[in-house]
Amino acid sequence: MIELRDVAYAYPDTDHYVLDGVDLTVARGEVVGVIGASGVGKTTLAKIIAGFIPNVEGGTLDGSVAVDDVPISSLPLAEAVAQVGLVIQNPFNQISGAKFSVREEIVFGLENTGVPRDEMITRVTDVAALLRIDHLLDRSPYALSGGQMQLVAIASVIVMGTPVLVMDEPTSQLDPGGSRMVFDVISALTDAGTSVLIFEHKVELLREHADRIAVLAEGRIIHEGTPRAVLTDDRLESWSVGSTRYTRAARAARGAGIVHPDAALPVSLSDSTEYFTTQRTGR
């Protein structure tokens, strides 16, 4: 479980708080998606939850950040990373660069934390099957495409088995099929009790897989709720966040007077079909 209370943060040598008053809770086994415009502080927030800020990067952190009721900033980094797995945005930098095969790359973190070899074999086999990268295990990490590298990067964090996962745009390099698979894996992990906080622009996938969506804007969580409630909110555009293509089409139709103005906006294909079938005004 992740619990942030009134979190504010300013980078070193500046008085400007990039985050100011963030409140957010992710329960055990819950997926919460965070959306927000570029540069709004999503990566900073991810690093705070994972214990890197202020431990490594310094700066001024106010408020409280707790993982399973333990203040994460009070833990030494080695203990914090045992609680929170962090998938960073660029898979090229997620991989160690020191291993000569994908298999060795995935177990790098397990070697560092002293996991016995037999357990490593089990874990790498399981995670490779989960992410369908079994066929890549003997390849060099640098011989992979961007999408394959991203799957390996995700596998290398999932294999650590932390109770909390923070993922910063984990599908940025993936095609629609790969992105969907990653979200299926996230669902499987949450079924097993992992709490997942995911920073993502692909709102349609969040709509499908997140329990809740939070909007990060103006340095805080400005809006939060079920995917349907958030993604159909009229203020979304003003926060520079996109809604689903179904919602956008419905809004356009509503603006043109083709559908009834009071009907609830759709967020999915099935919603949309029903919406345009039942809510037409006849114009």
Partner 1 sequence: MTTTLYEDRESAIHRLNPVTKLVAMLSIIIIVFAVQIWWVALGIVVFIVVPAAVVSGTGGRLLSLSLKLLLPILIVLVLLQGLFFPEGTTVLAEFGPARVTVEGLMFALGIGSRIAALVLCSLVLLLTTNPALLMTSLTEKGMSPKMSYVISSTLQIIPAFQTRAQSILLAQQARGLRLKGNPLRRAGAILPLVSPLVLGMFTDVEERSTAMEARGFSSPATHTSFVVVPDPVGQKIARWLLIAVAVASVVLSLLGVFK
Q: How far is the CB of 174 from partner 1 (least distance, A)?
A: 18
> Counting contacts by CB under 8 A, is residue 156 touching partner 1?
yes
Instruction: Check: CB of residue 53 under 8 Å from CB of residue 47.
Output: yes
> Counting contacts by CB under 8 A, is residue 138 touching partner 1?
no
Q: Which residues of 238-268 are buried (b: 16+ CB within 10 A; e: fewer)?
A: ebebbbbebbeebbebbeeeebeeebebbbb
Q: Which of 22, 35, 107, 133 binds partner 1 (CB under 8 A)?
A: 107
> Counting contacts by CB under 8 A, is residue 19 touching partner 1?
no
The interface region with partner 1, picked from 108-116, 220-228, 247-255, 263-271 by CB under 8 A, is: 108-116
Instruction: Check: CB of residue 163 under 8 Å from CB of residue 195.
Output: yes
> Phi/psi class of residue 76: alpha, beta or left (left: φ > 0; alpha: ψ in -120 to 50)?
beta
Residue 54's Cβ-count burial label (10 Å; 0-12, 13-18, 19+) is: middle
Q: Which is nearer to partner 1, 102 or 267 (CB)?
A: 102
> Counting contacts by CB under 8 A, is residue 74 touching partner 1?
no
Q: Which of 78, 188, 192, 269 binds partner 1 (CB under 8 A)?
A: 78
Q: Which is nearer to partner 1, 95 or 241 (CB)?
A: 95
Q: Which is nearer to partner 1, 92 or 276 (CB)?
A: 92
Q: How far is the CB of 87 from partner 1 (least distance, A)?
A: 8
> Counting contacts by CB under 8 A, is residue 2 touching partner 1?
no
Q: Which is nearer to partner 1, 97 or 255 (CB)?
A: 97
Q: Within 22-51, which residues bind partner 1 (CB under 8 A)? A: 47, 50
Q: How far is the CB of 279 from partner 1 (least distance, A)?
A: 47
> Counting contacts by CB under 8 A, is residue 9 touching partner 1?
no
Q: Which is nearer to partner 1, 79 or 274 (CB)?
A: 79
> Counting contacts by CB under 8 A, is residue 256 touching partner 1?
no
> Phi/psi class of residue 29: alpha, beta or left (left: φ > 0; alpha: ψ in -120 to 50)?
left
> Counting contacts by CB under 8 A, is residue 278 touching partner 1?
no
In whole angstroms, what separates CA 117 from the centre of its chain?
Answer: 30
Q: Which residues of 100-111 are buried (b: 16+ CB within 10 A; e: fewer)?
A: eebbbbbbbbbe
Contacts for 142-147: CB closer than 8 Å, 24+ residues apart:
144/102, 146/91, 146/92, 146/173, 147/173, 147/174, 147/175, 147/178
Instruction: Check: CB of residue 225 under 8 Å from CB of residue 260.
Output: no
> Counting contacts by CB under 8 A, is residue 110 touching partner 1?
yes
Instruction: Check: CB of residue 79 under 8 Å from CB of residue 68.
Output: no
> Counting contacts by CB under 8 A, is residue 81 touching partner 1?
yes
> Counting contacts by CB under 8 A, is residue 122 touching partner 1?
no
> Counting contacts by CB under 8 A, is residue 88 touching partner 1?
yes
In whole angstroms, what separates CA 274 from the centre of its chain?
Answer: 30
> Counting contacts by CB under 8 A, is residue 58 touching partner 1?
no
- Could you tell me the strand order of the sheet in which 17-26 lies? 17-26, 2-10, 60-67, 70-71
CA–CA separation, 162 and 193 (whole Å): 10
Binding interface with partner 1 (CB under 8 A): 47, 50, 52, 56, 77-78, 81-82, 85-86, 88, 90, 92-101, 103-104, 107-117, 120-121, 124, 140-143, 153, 156-157, 160
